[in-house]
Structure 1
Amino acid sequence: MYNYFFWHYTDGTREYLEIWRNYLRFFWRFFSVKLLLKTLFWPWRRDVTRHGRGFDPQEFLQVAAFNLISRFMGALVKLVTVAFCFLTELLIFILGLIFFGVWLLLPVVVLAFLLLGVRSLFVSSFFSALICFVLSGLLFWLPGLFYSISQKKFPSELSLAEMMKGGWFNLVWVRVGVDPERGRTVNSDELPNLLKEKDITEDEFNHVVSWVARQYEEKERKKRFWREENLLAKRGIGQDWIYGYSVHLDEVSKELNFIRGKEYHLIGREKEAEAIERVLARSEENNVLIVGEPGVGKKTIIKKFAKLIYDGHALPALSYKRALELDMGALMAGSANVSEMEARLRMVLDEATMAGNIILVIDNFNNYVGSQTGVGKIDISGALMPYLASRHIQVIGITTYDGLHKKIEAVPGLLKYFEKVEIKELEDDKMLLVLEDVVSSMEQRTAIRVTYRALKEIISKSGQYFADIAMPERAVDLLDEAFIYAASKTADKIIESRHVDVIISQKTEIPVGEVAMAEREKLSRLEDILHQRVINQEEAVKSIASAMRRSRMGVAEKKRPIGSFLFMGPTGVGKTETAKALAEAYFGKEERMIRLDMSEYQNLYDINRLIGSSEEELGSLSTAVRETPFSLVLFDEIEKAHPNILNLFLQVLDEGWLTDFAGRKVSFRNTIIIATSNAGAELIREMVGQGLNLTAEKERLLDFLQSNNIFKPEFMNRFDRVTIFHPLSKEHLMKIAGLMLGGLNKRLAEQKIAVVITEPLLEKVVELGYDPQYGARPMRRVIQDKIEDLISRKILDGSLQKGQSIEIKPEEI
């Protein structure tokens, strides 16, 4: 009781006076008194009439009368509003004064009723005592409620041990992946052992505590509606009366200052927001062009900035401004032709100029300036530029770097009206804060929680597997998909890293996350799996398998391709077949291989065929990798490509990306790159003929390639491994022939026919098909022309029926 009395006459009294003051300030600001008095005799909503040229007394009197009425009506409405505000303030002041007296006497009155109740209990009747106790309780209820609220500390005012006792701390345990039931039994001394057991670092735990505490404290502060920041956040009345009407503009635009149900927090974009605010606050040259890649959050920054204006937290020069996003589709939809559309545009721009407080936002600005072709594109630069010089209207254009360079810079004189503000991708630490900010609304929508490790996994894996989409969009989209997956495909109420990995695996069709036992066994046996299709070539198979294991186990460099190999050797020794086998083993199917015959890119201008030259002529390489980012890219006979094209591949091999014709990055970080070359084939045959070990003599071959200017050292050094493919012996050729005939049997299986593979048949195929110049490749033609043709003829004449096997004798082919 003593603590309450002490609080009541110290902190409690101070809080009462603060609340009283807050409401007096709130109504003064809510009714916009200062603004209305300052603009008391301004025309109502800037509604004025101007007379034409020359002097016509009748017209002059009509215009003067209308403008006088407009000013009189405006002044009358404003005076009534100000008068009502003064009455409200007087009422608040009187009521506050009365309740202040009551507040000071309240503890004495409550104590008096309590003592009277006790006395009545012993002297008078129980009913009288009950009345006294009830009255004292009723009188004490409101101050007691305020007392309990004021004694409740925010997390930022508590120690960790104190925070762990709060009910809200259960969410911390969920975020770090600990059962809340167990978490509640742990004290601060036992915490390090629990974190060690769950493999949670102290920094991770502290970050999660900060995250949950920050959001909890924000909610709790908003509940105290009487606080000044909560009261002053409410938009007042009368602020639009000093600006003009925008009826037609409102029909083709969307208000950005206040979007109900949306709360945008500005995270990691403070410098960009300050730059935008500084430009818009100028008296001249105050238009902004926001430039950034799709997905970096250009529009989100504008929405947050518009909300700052709405809440009164922007610079004074921007007070009462309205940010409206122009809907160009709606503007064009009501127009029969370009001339009519331009007339409608000028009408809404005139309206915005007359209003005097409009910031017009145009998304995809590059689609509406310069020479345009296509649906939904039009050139408005001619109609827009006269308004850009006006200080009564401001424009924010949103575009990409591609749109800036191709369209906007191509319009003479347009850029001089804009200040460019560039928006870059967020760093991972800022991205984590963004996800923590947006996750609350998703959790409320689905009643599913997400762990801290899942958010970290989203940031890491979205950057690794979806690098063609900018942050934060790629991470937010993946987070949204994780909630949808957990809600629709599982009964889980907590999203963990494994859920994120499942989604990525489904989208990419490659294994992600923890290595299952079956996959672990497959990785361990990868050499054997590849050898089922690749005969001999131990060095190549071993280096490929090693690179794949490093990549899958997360040991390899993530900012480069999964693996890059240069296969050297004569034609027909299995270089291309090895690439096909790897595509099937790693990506699940052979069709995941992108094959480019580099003999078609021997000229300098062929670079345009690889990376594109226009929207109509897209690049064969850039487009294929963008459409199939998880693939094996095979550059066949790479020595035949123009030297400048080989230089183009340096960045691909070293950094895992290239830039296409439009300046867009194309990621190769989820590809396996294999380049094959026949260069030095004669030298390889010569070394084999001399009985030399090709692996040991690799340096001799590399020196030959460099001295003959076939490949530069910096090009070959970019590959993870340069591998020499050995010429094939007769034994190897027999095995390859067996694989080819096995493939034929798979095709014949639908007709229930099989070829009996005998050693004499294999020897005959090798005899007919092996060519020292072309290796084993002609054997496929022998099987096609001789064996397949023979089988076809036997099926036609009826000598070979379904369900039968055929043994082909060498002399038959």
Structure 2
Amino acid sequence: MLPRSVSAAAAACRRSVRLHAACRSIRIMAADRVPGVKSVSGAPVLQPVSAQAAAAAAKMEAAVRAQRQQRARALEEAREEARVEAMPQQQSGGHLRSLRSALDRRIDGQSAAKDVVGRALRRRLLGLSDADRPLRLLFAGPSGVGKTELGIACCEALLGRCLPDRNFRRWNLSEFSHPSKFNRLTGGDPNYVGYKEGGELTNFIRQAEERRAQRKGGAGTEHTSCVILFDEVDRAADGLLTFLMNFLDSGAIASGSGETVDATKALIVMTTNCGRNAINAACEREMMRGIRREVLREICDGRWENLGRLGSVVPFTPLRGEGRRSVVTRQLDAVSERLRASWGGAAPSLRLSPRLVDFVCERWEDDLGGRSTRDFIEETVVEALAEALDGERGALTAQHQLLLDVAPGERAGGGERVAARVCAAPEELSEPQVAS
């Protein structure tokens, strides 16, 4: 039996097809009534009476065609969502050990953080977590160490796939610096026009809960409806932080129109840079005890009643050694993916030398984490790649390979630079050499 969302999309698609057929029949009958109309192979050919009629017919046909395409996309999305959302139920039956591997696929390093998150997700999958409140995780640590990415990985582990605006939504709380912007989350006051439209947060939770209930035929039969990510929770305005604390404690949120939305089936992930100095010092002592209270002190700033509402604190440590290399390698692989997406089947393959990875890792800054190397890769690696590919789109094929390596600098004062060289034969790849 097809899920309700798939059946609805299929019915809408069938209605669109019938509408298109009806429009075609009307056009054919109109053609039969126009004097001098000729037929090709017995099929009537429409000859509009006037330019206005021709334009109207073309406009109607374009509208019907666009509607058919939209319905077909909706049907495909519904089928994909049904397939993906069936995965967590299968996973909870006996594949809980794969949670850690699911987190490892997206996040490099941070072994301790992934252990804490994996245990929390396991409790949720088994139905052992507190049913009266949403599952809450606070990711604390320096910038660029994978906090946001781990939130996305949690969505993939619990719901099979991260679908933005359907089962995953992210808000940066630093954008809500003024109380007038709070209405974006919950909807406007009843005294204002448009209050019935609701807010971004309340609408997202309500729609996710409706889909959760439809998936298995009723409420309470699925463990998680959605994942909500609040970035930079420490930068939230005082009023918003108070609202957030009540929301985390009760698991319910009231919209501007007065409707209460249940969020107890949601996973709420918060990120903060608070406590990074304490985390860095604890890493040097290999002692992570006491980090939780230090992080909460900085966020709550004397409001001690909020200490117990933020959930589990998950410390993220600065990346070192292989963790840095893994992040840099992943960033360089993304450059290769962009080349393949742009050039299609004619894209030459990329080969990265180990020296290039080391060269990029040397530019790592602990205060910025992986963000410090992202811009450096754009300015050096991607620039060298663009220089090698400029004007070669027709000459290079999938049989060619591009070697990216570190070469002596050409500017006064020496230094090193990234350079690319084209190779046509596989045997040339044994010892990468880059012409300076």
TM-score w.r.t. the length of structure 2 is 0.62
Q: Please give the alpha-carbon distance, in whole angstroms, between the structure 2 residues aligned to 1:676 and 1:639.
A: 8
Aligned residue runs from structure 1 range 203-602, under 5 A: 509-511=84-86, 515-516=89-90, 520=93, 522-561=95-134, 563-587=135-159, 588-589=161-162, 591=164, 592-602=167-177
Match of 1:123 in 2: none
Match of 2:256 in 1: 661
- Of 784, 792, 802, the residue aligned with 2:398 is 802
Match of 2:330 in 1: 739
Contact 1:639 1:710 in 2 (8 A): no
Q: Secondary structure at the match of 2:314?
A: strand
Q: Report the CA distance between 1:676 and its aligned residue.
A: 0.5
- CA deviations 1:305-335 (Å, max 9, x no partner) are xxxxxxxxxxxxxxxxxxxxxxxxxxxxxxx
In structure 2, what residue type is equivalent to 1:804? H
- Of 716, 728, 731, the residue aligned with 2:319 is 728
In structure 2, what residue type is equivalent to 1:622? T
1:715/1:540 CA distance change after superposition, 3 Å: farther
- Of 625, 631, 635, the residue aligned with 2:205 is 625
In structure 1, what residue type is equivalent to 2:199? G
Q: Report the CA distance between 1:532 and its aligned residue.
A: 2.0
In structure 1, what residue type is equivalent to 2:201? L
Q: Secondary structure at the match of 1:632?
A: strand
Q: Report the CA distance between 1:615 and its aligned residue.
A: 5.2
1:801/1:546 CA distance change after superposition, 3 Å: same
Q: Please give the alpha-carbon distance, in whole angstroms, between the structure 2 residues aligned to 1:532 and 1:584.
A: 10
Q: Please give the alpha-carbon distance, in whole angstroms, between the structure 2 residues aligned to 1:506 and 1:773.
A: 39
- CA deviations 1:402-426 (Å, max 9, x no partner) are xxxxxxxxxxxxxxxxxxxxxxxxx
Select the structure that is richer in helix: 1
Q: Report the CA distance between 1:530 and its aligned residue.
A: 0.9
Q: Please give the alpha-carbon distance, in whole angstroms, between the structure 2 residues aligned to 1:790 and 1:520.
A: 50
> Is the aligned partner of 1:604 residue 2:210?
no
In structure 2, what residue type is equivalent to 1:572? G
1:512/1:652 CA distance change after superposition, 3 Å: farther
1:551/1:743 CA distance change after superposition, 3 Å: same
- Of 252, 277, 286, the residue aligned with 1:693 is 286
Contact 2:113 2:316 in 1 (8 A): yes
Q: Secondary structure at the match of 2:324?
A: helix
Q: Secondary structure at the match of 2:350?
A: strand
Q: Please give the alpha-carbon distance, in whole angstroms, between the structure 1 residues aligned to 2:398 and 2:275.
A: 49
Q: Report the CA distance between 1:725 and its aligned residue.
A: 0.7
Q: CA RMSD in A?
A: 3.4
Q: Report the CA distance between 1:581 and its aligned residue.
A: 2.1
- CA deviations 1:2-41 (Å, max 9, x no partner) are xxxxxxxxxxxxxxxxxxxxxxxxxxxxxxxxxxxxxxxx
1:715/1:615 CA distance change after superposition, 3 Å: farther
Q: Please give the alpha-carbon distance, in whole angstroms, between the structure 2 residues aligned to 1:711 and 1:777.
A: 32
Q: Please give the alpha-carbon distance, in whole angstroms, between the structure 1 residues aligned to 2:257 and 2:82.
A: 26
Q: Secondary structure at the match of 2:96?
A: helix
- CA deviations 1:445-471 (Å, max 9, x no partner) are xxxxxxxxxxxxxxxxxxxxxxxxxxx
Aligned residue runs from structure 1 range 177-192, under 5 A: none
Q: Secondary structure at the match of 2:388?
A: helix
Aligned residue runs from structure 1 range 162-177, under 5 A: none
In structure 2, what residue type is equivalent to 1:673? I
1:699/1:641 CA distance change after superposition, 3 Å: closer
Q: Report the CA distance between 1:638 and its aligned residue.
A: 0.6
Match of 1:773 in 2: 367
Q: Report the CA distance between 1:735 and its aligned residue.
A: 1.1
In structure 2, what residue type is equivalent to 1:644? G
In structure 1, what residue type is equivalent to 2:389? I
Q: Please give the alpha-carbon distance, in whole angstroms, between the structure 2 residues aligned to 1:529 and 1:602.
A: 35
Q: Report the CA distance between 1:666 and its aligned residue.
A: 2.1
In structure 2, what residue type is equivalent to 1:753? P
Q: Please give the alpha-carbon distance, in whole angstroms, between the structure 2 residues aligned to 1:774 and 1:704.
A: 23
Match of 1:649 in 2: 244
Match of 1:636 in 2: 231
Q: Please give the alpha-carbon distance, in whole angstroms, between the structure 1 residues aligned to 2:208 and 2:302.
A: 28
Q: Please give the alpha-carbon distance, in whole angstroms, between the structure 1 residues aligned to 2:94 and 2:187.
A: 42
Q: Please give the alpha-carbon distance, in whole angstroms, between the structure 1 residues aligned to 2:124 and 2:296.
A: 30
- CA deviations 1:267-287 (Å, max 9, x no partner) are xxxxxxxxxxxxxxxxxxxxx
1:621/1:507 CA distance change after superposition, 3 Å: same
Contact 1:639 1:711 in 2 (8 A): no
In structure 2, what residue type is equivalent to 1:616? G
1:757/1:696 CA distance change after superposition, 3 Å: farther
Contact 2:292 2:313 in 1 (8 A): no
Contact 2:169 2:229 in 1 (8 A): yes
In structure 2, what residue type is equivalent to 1:595? R
Contact 1:800 1:806 in 2 (8 A): no
Q: Please give the alpha-carbon distance, in whole angstroms, between the structure 1 residues aligned to 2:232 and 2:106.
A: 21
Q: Report the CA distance between 1:641 and its aligned residue.
A: 0.6
Q: Please give the alpha-carbon distance, in whole angstroms, between the structure 2 residues aligned to 1:734 and 1:754.
A: 21
Q: Please give the alpha-carbon distance, in whole angstroms, between the structure 2 residues aligned to 1:652 and 1:721.
A: 16
Contact 1:794 1:800 in 2 (8 A): no
Contact 2:352 2:405 in 1 (8 A): no
TM-score w.r.t. the length of structure 1 is 0.35
Q: Secondary structure at the match of 2:377?
A: helix
Q: Report the CA distance between 1:645 and its aligned residue.
A: 1.3
Contact 1:694 1:726 in 2 (8 A): no
User: Highest relative contact order (Cα 8 Å, sep 6+), 1 or 2?
Assistant: 2
Q: Report the CA distance between 1:574 and its aligned residue.
A: 1.1
1:652/1:700 CA distance change after superposition, 3 Å: closer
1:685/1:547 CA distance change after superposition, 3 Å: closer
Q: Please give the alpha-carbon distance, in whole angstroms, between the structure 2 residues aligned to 1:657 and 1:757.
A: 50
Q: Secondary structure at the match of 2:338?
A: helix
Q: Secondary structure at the match of 2:253?
A: strand
Q: Report the CA distance between 1:631 and its aligned residue.
A: 2.6
Match of 2:306 in 1: 715
In structure 2, what residue type is equivalent to 1:645? L
Q: Please give the alpha-carbon distance, in whole angstroms, between the structure 2 residues aligned to 1:636 and 1:574.
A: 12
Q: Please give the alpha-carbon distance, in whole angstroms, between the structure 2 residues aligned to 1:601 and 1:808.
A: 43
Match of 2:194 in 1: 616
Q: Report the CA distance between 1:731 and its aligned residue.
A: 2.6
Q: Secondary structure at the match of 2:267?
A: strand
Match of 2:275 in 1: 680
Q: Secondary structure at the match of 2:261?
A: strand
Q: Please give the alpha-carbon distance, in whole angstroms, between the structure 1 residues aligned to 2:309 and 2:240.
A: 15
1:610/1:543 CA distance change after superposition, 3 Å: same
Q: Report the CA distance between 1:651 and its aligned residue.
A: 3.4
Task: Kindly name which structure, 1 or 2, has the bigger radius of gyration based on alpha carbons.
Answer: 1
Match of 2:43 in 1: none
Contact 1:595 1:636 in 2 (8 A): yes
> Is the aligned partner of 1:705 residue 2:298?
yes
Match of 2:20 in 1: none
Q: Please give the alpha-carbon distance, in whole angstroms, between the structure 2 residues aligned to 1:544 and 1:534.
A: 12
Match of 1:401 in 2: none
Q: Secondary structure at the match of 1:810?
A: strand
In structure 2, what residue type is equivalent to 1:701? E
Q: Report the CA distance between 1:646 and its aligned residue.
A: 1.6
Segments of 5+ residues of structure 2 without an aligned counterpart are: 12-77, 210-224, 408-416, 419-436
Q: Report the CA distance between 1:776 and its aligned residue.
A: 1.5
1:703/1:644 CA distance change after superposition, 3 Å: closer
Q: Report the CA distance between 1:700 and its aligned residue.
A: 5.5
The aligned length equals 311
